């Protein structure tokens, strides 16, 4: 309980290893981002527990194991341009920013976007931009992306998103019903798409044209 923040963060990374996260780059990124800076003051003591936490406006910061799993599935390269849909607290974007060349993250709720932008700037992230918009249609002006991560649940894969992937680009998205989804990974191979499933997840709904 009284362990210091760095010790708790190291313990979280050990836990992630135990549950099967093997990509060392992802583990280093998780070790580098201060999750306590992304959760409301009242939950700071729980920042390194493996739970989603409320961040206001009915939204949540995803649990660390899910962030690690998604980031691992995305195979983010150092030269990659990444689009995240659903910035929320900005935590997933910070983890991605440790690994990528640039991260565009979009959020439909202005108050959350503002909070994420301030936090990321205070922590010194210069390779992330936070934009207020409906991300269900992607971001055509900035496309294509090597990685697209949807941090909210969708009923189906939005066509506009797969069309904004580079050749070999990866889309990671929770697909399913409101209360339970499956993590789906889509890889673009020329004009076709390779789809695989990676276990269950529970996300807040994607709201908008291609959402719920
Ligand atoms: N990645 C976040 C978790 C965010 S929860 C983090 O690390 O904290 C999902 C977020 O998606 C919510 O903040 C919600 O407002 C946002 N969202 C839902 N539908 C959206 C849409 N169509 N476009 C952009 N953001 C959306």
Per-residue pLDDT at 2: 57
Looking at the 3D structure of the chain, how many domains does it have? 1
Closest ligand 1 atom number to CA of residue 38? 8
Active site residue 62: yes
1 has pLDDT over 70: no
CA of 18 to the centre of ligand 1 (A): 28
192: left (phi over 0), alpha (psi -120 to 50) or beta: beta
Question: Could you give the C-alpha distances from 47 to 12, 57, 87, 153, 154, in angstroms and in order?
Answer: 10, 19, 18, 23, 26
| Residue list, ligand 1 pocket, CB within 6 Å | 59-62, 85-89, 91-92, 106-109, 112, 134-136, 151-152, 204, 206-208, 211
The domain that contains 145 carries what CATH number? 3.40.50.150
Pairing of strands 165-176, 181-189: antiparallel
pTM given for the model: 0.97
User: Residue 206 domain-assigned?
Assistant: no
CA of 203 to the centre of ligand 1 (A): 9
User: Residue 161 domain-assigned?
Assistant: yes
User: Residue 73 domain-assigned?
Assistant: yes
Please give the residue range of the domain that contains residue 186. Answer: 5-201
Per-residue pLDDT at 120: 98
User: Residue 136 domain-assigned?
Assistant: yes
Q: Is the dihedral of CA 6, 12, 18, 23 positive or negative?
A: negative
> Could you please report the per-residue DSSP string of 194-211?
EEEEEEEE--PBP-STT-
CA of 198 to the centre of ligand 1 (A): 21
Separation of alpha carbons 21 and 11, rounded Å:
14
Span 93-108, pLDDT tens digits: 999 999 999 999 999 9
Separation of alpha carbons 39 and 50, rounded Å:
13
Mutual angle of helices 24-32 and 91-99, in 10-degree steps: 130
């Amino acid at each position: 309980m009284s362990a210091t923040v760095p010790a708790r963060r190291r313990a979280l990374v050990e836990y992630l290893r135990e549950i099967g996260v093997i990509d060392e780059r992802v583990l280093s990124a998780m070790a580098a981002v201060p999750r306590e800076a992304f959760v409301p003051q009242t939950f700071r003591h729980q920042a390194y527990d493996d739970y989603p936490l409320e961040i206001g406006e009915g939204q949540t910061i995803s649990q660390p194991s899910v962030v690690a799993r998604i980031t691992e599935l995305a195979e983010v390269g150092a030269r990659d341009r990444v689009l995240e849909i659903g910035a929320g607290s900005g935590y997933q974007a910070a983890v991605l920013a440790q690994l990528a060349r640039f991260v565009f993250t979009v959020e439909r709720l202005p108050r959350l976007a503002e909070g994420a932008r301030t936090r990321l700037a205070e922590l010194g992230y210069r390779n992330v931009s936070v934009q207020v918009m409906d991300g269900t249609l992607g971001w055509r002006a900035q496309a294509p992306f090597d990685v697209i991560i949807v941090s909210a649940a969708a009923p189906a894969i939005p066509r506009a998103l797969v069309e904004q992937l580079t050749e070999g680009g990866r889309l990671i998205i929770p697909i399913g019903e409101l209360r339970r989804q499956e993590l789906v990974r889509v890889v673009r191979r020329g004009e076709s798409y390779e789809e695989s499933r990676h276990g269950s997840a529970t996300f807040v709904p994607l709201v908008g044209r291609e959402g719920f």
